[in-house]
Amino acid sequence: MTAFWKYTFARLALFAVTYGVLALIAYPTGLVEFAELTNLVVLLLALVISSVAGFFVLAPQRDALALEVQARHERVTARIEESRRAEDVD
3-state SS, one letter per residue, for the chain: CCHHHHHHHHHHHHHHHHHHHHHHHHCCCCCCCCCHHHHHHHHHHHHHHHHHHHHHHCHHHHHHHHHHHHHHHHHHHHHHHHHHHHHHHC
Task: Kindly report the pTM of this predicted structure.
Answer: 0.75
**pLDDT on residue 87:** 77
Domain boundaries, the chain: 3-89
pLDDT over 80 (residue 35):
no
Rounded to the nearest 5 degrees, what angle is found at the Cα of 30, between the Cα atoms of 25 and 34?
85
Task: Identify the residue with better confidence: 13 or 84.
Answer: 13
Mean of per-residue pLDDT scores for the chain: 86
**pLDDT on residue 57:** 94
